[in-house]
């Protein structure tokens, strides 16, 4: 969806016009039929409340919508404006209208407020209808353009940064939504190379032979049952001080997860196309940072594999040697994401000596049991880093909740024949998974693990997304960079 700024006047055509209304502040300049209709329908301007009607302007019938922006003094003002923008798009997305004009005259919005409204409108307009060939006409998305009239000073500049963020979120949604026969390690790399071309991001790709030479036995063990070859995708953005250590984002990219020999139940296995949601979030974040020319040094690393159960697949009971030299007894081949992450994190630390490492992964079903679909889980060895990420989650809407770690949990993954095993008992499954990853973090390196299993895919529409891929992870990382690396 395109956002276009007008020169201060309304479009001359008959496309719908929307007015943003603060709570209990219906504009006085509206036609009486709109004012009376709004009051009769109990429209008061509450957040995302919507009223629409038709009026005659210049001899033409014009569709007018009033969208509630809520209390102008509320602490969550920007989030409320995002929800309002999203509600407006949801109303008109399949309405048959191709364009919508938002008139910001007398809205009282500052530039940042208007940009937040437009971000919600843009994000809610994303759909992936590529494979739908028989969709009824009245369900097809028609809205292509949102025009902005009478924008407050500075809105276009504020929107530039949010537009970059929106493109990053949309790219993540695209990657997560595509089926596993379309997105697999090699095609994930190709899609990223195409999308990131010309952005200034430096790209590197390690193939299976290079990873084998480096000793990545944990990652390669997961991949060995698939005909799809594994890849390590590296994206480097140098927007900060020359020579300053980057912050590293590392994503789990299991493009399809059958569970391997420890096969998952058939029901719901189709959802495992989004088990690369962590890698998708890293790729989308790197795109957003590059498009808005973030003044920070950041590296994104995606460990990309497919976990399949063929005759060459890894077996329960196998012992693999990670790049770090630590050995792992593979008790359950469906606990594969941590095997991918441990080698990716080891390589990242050796290559970049990062100032901090933040990994993202759809790692455990136990995380969904703990937090449902409201928060991503946060585990960390550094209180300061954890607090910064929690704050970024609140500010961005990609909410996180910190989980405990400690030596008592760590003992649960000790193995009788290797340095560790890849799973502990059923209890505390998300915690022992984090304890496993922590064993591969260099001493003194601030690290955080975001278990986003419950957040990358939605069974019903949310505030700024339709059913399906949410793009979770991009916004919290982008906000972290804005506040902590650029601020």
338 is catalytic: yes
213's tokens = 């030479």
Q: Cα(269)–Cα(180) distance, rounded to whole angstroms?
A: 12
Residues 6+ apart with CB under 8 A from 210: 232
Instruction: Write down the number of H helices and E strands in the chain.
Output: 14, 19
CA geometry: angle 353, 363, 286, nearest 5 deg:
45
The residue count of the chain comes to 487
Q: DSSP secondary-structure letter at 143?
A: -
| Cα maximum dimension of the chain | 84
**β-strands 202-206, 447-451: how paired?**
unpaired
The catalytically annotated residue of 229, 264, 295, 439 is 264
Q: Report CA-CA distances (Å) from 270 to 130, 184, 257, 267, 480.
A: 18, 14, 9, 8, 32
**Beta-bridge mates of residue 428:** none
CA gap 458, 382 in Å, rounded? 30
Residue 153's nearest CA partner among 110, 117, 106 is: 110
Rounded-to-integer distance, Cα 307 and Cα 256, Å: 6
Q: Determine the Cα–Cα distance for residues 393 and 475; give it in Å rounded to an integer.
A: 8
Q: Is 264 a catalytic residue?
A: yes
Look at the alpha carbons of 104, 106, 108, 111 in this order and tell me if their dihedral is positive or negative.
positive
Phi, psi (degrees; rounded to nearest 5) at 46:
-60, 155
Q: Is the CA virtual torsion 349, 222, 364, 421 positive or negative? A: negative
Can you read off the two tokens belonging to residue 13?
């055509």
The tokens describing 449, both together, are: 């693990």
Query: Directed axis angle between helix 277-291 and helix 185-196, to 10°?
Result: 10
Catalytic residue (choose from 127, 147, 292, 338): 338
Q: Would you tell me how many other CB atoms lie within 10 Å of the CB of residue 374?
A: 9
Catalytic (active-site) positions: 264, 338
């Amino acid at each position: 969806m395109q956002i276009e700024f007008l020169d201060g006047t309304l479009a001359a055509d008959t496309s719908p016009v929307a007015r943003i209304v603060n709570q209990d502040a219906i504009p006085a300049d509206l036609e009486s039929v709109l004012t009376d209709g709004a009051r009769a329908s109990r429209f008061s301007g509450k957040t995302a409340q919507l009223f629409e009607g038709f009026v005659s302007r210049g001899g033409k019938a014009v569709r007018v919508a009033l969208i509630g922006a809520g209390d102008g003094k509320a602490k969550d003002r920007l989030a409320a404006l995002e929800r309002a923008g999203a509600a407006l798009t949801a109303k008109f997305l399949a309405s048959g209208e191709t364009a919508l004009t938002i008139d910001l005259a007398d809205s009282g919005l500052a530039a940042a407020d208007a940009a937040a409204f437009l971000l919600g409108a843009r994000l809610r307009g994303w759909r992936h209808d590529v494979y739908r060939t028989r969709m009824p006409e009245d369900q097809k998305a028609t809205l292509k353009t949102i025009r902005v009239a009478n924008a407050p000073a500075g809105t276009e500049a504020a929107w530039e940064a949010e537009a970059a963020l929106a493109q990053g979120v949309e790219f993540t949604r695209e990657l997560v939504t595509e089926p596993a026969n379309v997105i697999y390690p090699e095609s994930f790399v190709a899609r990223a190379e195409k999308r990131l071309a010309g952005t200034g991001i430096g790209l590197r790709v390690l193939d299976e032979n290079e990873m084998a030479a480096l000793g990545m036995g944990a990652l390669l063990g997961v991949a060995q049952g698939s005909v799809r070859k594994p890849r390590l995708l590296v994206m480097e953005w140098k927007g900060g001080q020359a020579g300053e250590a980057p912050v590293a984002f590392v994503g789990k990219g299991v493009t399809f997860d059958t569970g391997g020999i420890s096969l998952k139940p058939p029901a719901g296995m189709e959802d495992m196309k989004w088990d690369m949601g962590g890698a998708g979030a890293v790729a989308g974040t790197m795109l957003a940072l590059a498009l808005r020319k973030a003044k920070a040094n950041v590296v994104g690393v995606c460990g990309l594999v497919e976990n399949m159960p063929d005759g060459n697949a890894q077996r329960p009971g196998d012992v693999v040697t990670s790049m770090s030299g630590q050995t792992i007894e593979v008790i359950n081949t469906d606990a594969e994401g941590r095997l991918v992450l441990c080698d990716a994190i080891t390589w990242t630390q050796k290559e970049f000596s990062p100032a901090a490492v933040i990994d993202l992964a759809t790692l455990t079903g136990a995380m969904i049991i703990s937090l449902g679909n409201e928060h991503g889980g946060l585990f960390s060895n550094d209180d300061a880093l954890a607090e910064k990420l929690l704050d970024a989650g609140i500010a961005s809407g990609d909410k996180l909740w910190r989980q405990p770690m400690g030596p008592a949990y760590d003992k649960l993954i000790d193995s009788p024949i290797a340095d560790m095993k890849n799973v502990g008992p059923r209890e505390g499954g998300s915690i022992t998974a984090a304890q496993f990853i922590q064993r591969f973090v260099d001493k003194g390196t601030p690290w955080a693990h975001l278990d986003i299993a419950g957040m990358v895919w939605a069974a019903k529409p949310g505030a700024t997304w339709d059913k399906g891929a949410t793009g979770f992870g991009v916004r919290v990382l982008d906000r972290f960079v804005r506040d902590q690396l650029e601020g």
